[in-house]
Structure formats: structure tokens, C-alpha cells
Structure 1
Amino acid sequence: MDFSHHPALWQQYPELAAGALSARGIRRDADASAPIARYEALAMARLQAAGSESALPEIQAWRRTFSRMGLKPTQYRCASESLLRRLRTEGAMPRIHPLIDVCNAISMAFAIPIAVLDAARIAGPLQVRPADGTERYLSFAGEVEHPDAGEVSFVDAAGNAHARRWTHRQSGLSAVRDGTAEVLIVAEAMHDAGREDVRKLVEAVAQVLRDVWSAAPVTGFPDAAAPRFLA
């Protein structure tokens, strides 16, 4: 696995804090109910204390980033904000896959977006970079879209866009499914304590992988000086 952010992003967003994790041995039949419940409870407690997800500093920072990208932040939300909004309005989250469910719970608890990708569906190096408009994005409805030129996306060597509008929406192409065995997990924050919080988040995910899947995750924290995560 070769993952990085384009140098232009580190230059434009020096506050970016990133963490990455690679793990093998993922199984659909694993029981992650305990950590899911624990982190969802933490997320709900934060929501109740703040009153709304929009009051959390982690969410406010991503809203500012979306505005800088020319996006209306109440129309295009980062993934963690969308999850917290659903938790607040519905009171519970649907169960999709144990790994997705636990990463969603941790994402909500930290209010930091997490991308979980099936490594087998990624062609060669994966980079977060501005799109040139030719990339192909497969929606969960099965439709092929093309990110706008300049839109930040996760792009692999084959020109597949694995996300749209940075942390807004992942692609159906690399979504975790029943047969997924190896994953790349990426967390990105923009708030003042982002670097410390991303490290805590990555360790939280890694610990669940050890406990639930008996995995041996490889973790890394790319930055402007050393932007590549290799695993």
C-alpha cells in the first residue's frame, strides 16, 4: 500500500493532520458490538454536551475547509458531521459491516472523518489530490461520475476516484464488503489539536483491530516532510 497527499494540499492546508492504517485478516463474521457501543455512547455524550455537531471544533474546522474549497458546508458535509447528524436525529446507527460500524462509531466519537477502503480495489499508489476531471467515481447507486477539475479526491494509478469532495463521500468501488480481507483506513483533521487527536484515533482503531480481528495493523502519520505511507 502506497498512500500520500499531494504536496499542493500540504502547502494550501498546513493545518492538515493525517493518519493511515493498513490491516489484513478482516472478516465479516467478527463481533465488534462492544467497541461499537462504547464509541457510539461517547459520541452521543459529546453531542449532548455540545448541543449539536456543528458546535464541535473538529466539525467547524472542516466546515471552514469546505468553504475554502468553494463548497457550501451545509450542503456538502464531511463524513463525520453527516454521521453525527444522523445519530443526533435518529438516535441510532444502522449496522452495515462490523469494520464499517466500528470505524463510524470511532469517527463520531472523535468527530473526525475516517475513510475505510478495500485495498484490493485500489490500483497502485493512492493519492489525495486535486482532480483533473478525467477520473472515474463509482457511486453507491452504480453510476459513474467525474469529479470536477480541481476537486480534491482520493485518486489511484488507474484514475479511479475513491472519494468526492475530499472527506464528503466515498466511492462504491472500494467500499468494504463481505469479502473484504485487507483495508486501508485514513483519518484527516483540520482543527488545532488535530495531530494529537488523529494519533489517538488511529490507535483506537488499531486496538479494535487487534482485539476483534487479531490483526497486526501498520500505522503511520504522513505530513508535509514525509508525505508517503507505505505498508
Structure 2
Amino acid sequence: MDFQHAAAMWSAHPDLVAGVLRADGLNPDAPVDAPVARYWARAAERLAGGNESELPEIQAWRRTFAAMGLKPTQYRCASEALLRRFRQQGEVPRIHPLIDLCNAVSLAFAIPVAAIDVERVSGDLTVRHAYGDERYETFAGDVENPLPGEVVFADAAGRAHARRWTNRQSGYSAVRKETASVLIVAEAVHETAAADVPELVRALAGELTAVWGITPATAVLTPEAPRFTA
């Protein structure tokens, strides 16, 4: 499976920086309490000075969503939604060790992080503008079609594994108990993303090695090298 952003995405969003990891050999019983607590503490420290909407990472995604015709306070990027819940409740739900870790890292960096079960993806996965006939399955099991031009994570079978870019993943390819292999994608568009995304990738790769004893394949994508072979 290859992962890439379509050329039109790089053209429309020249500030985009994308980090990718492929991890195999996962299990649902790994202990992640310690690293999750560390990243939660970092997120809490950042939020101590104000709410999530003031963070440069979130402001940049809000501008990007607005440019795509989306109301930023109606459709939030995944990291903003997590930070908002974390600020209000002091925690986010624990779901699966990998998701808990990815969510914690996303909170600390204020950068959206998606984790996709690769066994549920058909062929290559491309971040592109929707045609409108792609199939997106919600976490409730309902099937939707994205609007034409909406940014989706689309596979070769026409299934959308995310809608509105970094807004919401699909329940179809969400990490579950039996998931053994994942593709993890972190995307940012803020001013220091070129430094922050590689740092996030290194941090997450280190945690995967420490917790699961695996060495993930990693990459930071650019318009000149936009493809990651997983």
C-alpha cells in the first residue's frame, strides 16, 4: 500500500507538512499509561496559558478549513476537538493503547494524528478532493457520500477513510482490538510545521519501539517526495 497526497493538495496547501509511520505487530494489551500521562501533562501546560483556539497549530487549521468553505467552529480538526475535550474534562476517553498514545501525542503537539487499520484499506490511499461518489462509514455504521471537492482519504476501491481532511476518520478502518498493522498520519500547516512534524514522528516512533518493541517505517512527505510505500 502506498500513501500520498494528490498534487492538487500540495499546490493548494503549500505549507502542508505530513509525517507518516507504518507499524506492524501491535497488540491491544500494551501498557501506555506512563507515556500518555507525560503527553497529557505537556498538553495541560500548553493550555494553561489559554484555550486551544489560541495555539498557532489550531489557528492554522482554522484558516485552512475556512479557505475550504468549512465553518471552523462547526468542523474542527481532530487535534482541536481533542484539546477542547481535554480542557473541559481534564482527560480524553481511553480506547485502545495505540489510539490512546496517538491521541496523547496529538494533544501535546496540537497536530492531528490519524491511525488507520491497513487491513481495511484497498490498494493505495490518497489524500485528495472527493468526486462525490466515495463511500464513508461513520462510527455508528451509517454510510455517507462526501461532497464533491471535499478533502478525503480515499482508497483504490472508492472508500473514504476520512472526511473533511483532518476533521473525522471513518469507523470502517478505525483501530480495533484485532488490529495488528496501522498507518499513522500526522499533518500540519502552521509556520513551524517543518520542524514540529518530524519531532512528532520521532517521538511517536520512539514510543512504539519502547511499548511494543517494534521499529516503524517513517517518512516526512514533501511535494518532491510525496509518496510513502507502506
Q: Which bracket does the TM-score occupy, shorter chain normalised?
A: over 0.9
Partner of 1:37: 37
Deviation digits for residues 189-230 of structure 1, max 9, x if unmatched? 000100110000011110010000011100011111111011
Q: Distance in 2 between matches of 1:131 and 1:8?
A: 12
Deviation digits for residues 65-124 of structure 1, max 9, x if unmatched? 000000000000000000000000011111100100010000010000001000100100
Partner of 1:210: 209
Moved over 2 A (4+): none
Q: Distance in 2 between matches of 1:148 and 1:115?
A: 21
Partner of 2:196: 197
Q: Distance in 2 between matches of 1:136 and 1:25?
A: 29
Q: Distance in 1 between matches of 2:203 and 2:26?
A: 16
Q: Distance in 1 between matches of 2:114 and 2:212?
A: 19
Partner of 2:19: 19
Deviation digits for residues 30-64 of structure 1, max 9, x if unmatched? 00111000001100110112x10000000000000
Q: Distance in 2 between matches of 1:105 and 1:221?
A: 20
Amino acid aligned to 2:229: L
Quick check: 1:180 aligned with 2:179? Answer: yes
Partner of 1:57: 56
Q: Secondary structure at the match of 2:91?
A: coil
Amino acid aligned to 2:40: E
Q: Distance in 2 between matches of 1:130 and 1:120?
A: 23
Partner of 1:88: 87
Q: Secondary structure at the match of 1:134?
A: coil
Amino acid aligned to 1:10: W
Q: Distance in 2 between matches of 1:20 and 1:3?
A: 9
Aligned residues: 230
Q: Distance in 2 between matches of 1:124 and 1:44?
A: 39
Amino acid aligned to 1:67: A
Q: Distance in 2 between matches of 1:101 and 1:219?
A: 20
Q: Distance in 2 between matches of 1:55 and 1:151?
A: 26
* Structure 2 unmatched runs, 5+: none
Amino acid aligned to 2:156: A
Deviation digits for residues 146-202 of structure 1, max 9, x if unmatched? 000000000000001000000000000110000000000000000010011000001
Partner of 2:141: 142
Q: Secondary structure at the match of 2:160?
A: coil
Q: Distance in 2 between matches of 1:92 and 1:12?
A: 35
* Structure 1 unmatched runs, 5+: none
TM-score by length of 1: 0.99
Deviates more, 1:86-95 or 1:164-173: 86-95
Q: Distance in 2 between matches of 1:173 and 1:206?
A: 25
Q: Distance in 2 between matches of 1:151 and 1:94?
A: 28
Q: Distance in 2 between matches of 1:53 and 1:132?
A: 33
Q: Cα RMSD over matched residues?
A: 0.5
Q: Distance in 2 between matches of 1:120 and 1:226?
A: 25
Q: Distance in 2 between matches of 1:169 and 1:205?
A: 21
Identity between Structure 1 and Structure 2 (%): 61
Amino acid aligned to 1:18: A
